[in-house]
Structure 1
């Protein structure tokens, strides 16, 4: 029965190959966008082909074929994780945008009725966003958890300042601290001299160096997005 199923999968695979061009063998290429049907709907179709003697011209090697399949699965899992991290990052940006609106100086100058209406609107949007739960776990020890908590507290305090000029200055100090921490090709941490990146916030830098490399990258992206917003606010004011 298993051989019959493999025969069906092989026939279908040959038909698909005749109707569609061959995909690039470079999985990481931007042009190699896989679709859900290929990767999730019919897993037996692409795995079964590796266990068919008619697909190769050399003796059957089960170990090699299992490794080949697992290599492909590993690459797809990594891409899935990367896509999930991007979604999580977008959610963080939306949350940050709402925090910035709540602390905007113009909102404070509105009448009480208008301000209450806007705050209720923000609450509705926040509640809707809260229905989307994303959890891509980054492995951290207790010290790294504490460092990340310190970073989040410092950024939240900066966002709630309400003054875009002071907020921009503080954000630049934090961003300089991120740029001062460099990663060499071997993944080792290094630091640049303060004169090369501008003044930095020592407290922020100390907490940043205690975070994981993934967290450091995400923190830098978050600050860059925040700086873009604060630059616009400064020009407007």
Structure 2
């Protein structure tokens, strides 16, 4: 009797093991490494497509939908997520580049400040050496977010940088502020909408502009135009403080 019961239990175990479903295939999280949490502060906790579960037919279900996705849609979902992260990385890098440019500009303004001329030669040399040490440390930070430009746009950006650098090295904050305002007005006199059409603002609405600067500015890419305007705004804020202190 006991032997018969054992035989029945053995048969039942074999039947259960034969009908057990196969283990699910790997999820999306195994396709790419997990995103580092310490640099992903603004990324939502739920990663669309990464927690999806597979069906026996080889498709998978999104956690936000009951409809199964095929393999192509699976990868599109993952790539959409990566594309958003790449765009955020570019924006973060551009912000860091702007901060670095601001630090470089600040040191150039210090070197050209007229108060430097009132110092003794020893004091001036000491300050210059200090600036060089800080500049050397800043030079160890390399940031490069490449903006696609043709030869004409590269030339226009180079001319803009020469004009701004010449203005910074004037040494007179009053004249520098006047020139900076002309450049900034040129940035505001023409704006481009997302479709690429140029909207021109009448000169009377923005004040006098530097025509040469405006002509060169319009030859730059839209991203460069935005960055140039931000740089001039930061420079104007500094020059305003310098002018008030005088």
Q: Could you say which TM-score interval applies, normalised by the shorter chain?
A: 0.7 to 0.9
* C-alpha deviation, 1:38, in angstroms: 6.0
- Find the residue that maps to 1:178 and give its secondary structure: helix
Distance in 1, Cα, partners of 2:52 & 2:164: 51
Partner of residue 214, structure 2: 205
Distance in 2, Cα, partners of 1:192 & 1:128: 42
Larger Rg: 2
TM-score of the superposition, structure 1-length normalised?
A: 0.80
Distance in 2, Cα, partners of 1:170 & 1:129: 28
Report 1:169-208 matches (<5 A).
Answer: 169-208=178-217
- Among 51, 54, 76, the alignment partner of 1:52 is 54
Stretch of structure 1 that moved more, 58-67 or 107-116:
58-67
Distance in 2, Cα, partners of 1:195 & 1:37: 46
Q: Is the 8 A contact 1:194 1:200 kept in 2?
A: yes
Partner of residue 158, structure 2: 149
Change (3 A) 1:51 1:202: farther
- Find the residue that maps to 1:49 and give its secondary structure: coil
Deviations 1:114-170 (A, max 9, x none): 000000000000000000000000000000000000000000000000000000000
Runs (5+) with no aligned partner, structure 2: 1-22, 42-46
Change (3 A) 1:136 1:8: closer
**Counterpart check, 1:168 vs 2:170:** no
- Counting matched residue pairs gives 208
Q: Is the 8 A contact 2:28 2:51 kept in 1?
A: no
Runs (5+) with no aligned partner, structure 1: 14-33, 40-44
Partner of residue 126, structure 1: 135
Distance in 1, Cα, partners of 2:113 & 2:28: 65
**Counterpart check, 1:89 vs 2:91:** no
Distance in 2, Cα, partners of 1:74 & 1:128: 33
Stretch of structure 1 that moved more, 223-232 or 188-197:
188-197
Q: Is the 8 A contact 2:184 2:233 kept in 1?
A: yes
Change (3 A) 1:160 1:61: same
Deviations 1:164-215 (A, max 9, x none): 0000000000000000011224232221111111100011000000000000
Would you tell me which structure has more helix in proportion to its own residues?
1
Q: Is the 8 A contact 2:61 2:69 kept in 1?
A: no
Distance in 2, Cα, partners of 1:75 & 1:100: 38
Change (3 A) 1:38 1:7: same
Partner of residue 220, structure 1: 229
Q: Is the 8 A contact 1:51 1:62 kept in 2?
A: no
Q: Is the 8 A contact 1:51 1:65 kept in 2?
A: no
- Find the residue that maps to 2:191 and give its secondary structure: strand
Change (3 A) 1:235 1:89: same
Q: Is the 8 A contact 2:48 2:77 kept in 1?
A: no
Distance in 2, Cα, partners of 1:89 & 1:127: 18
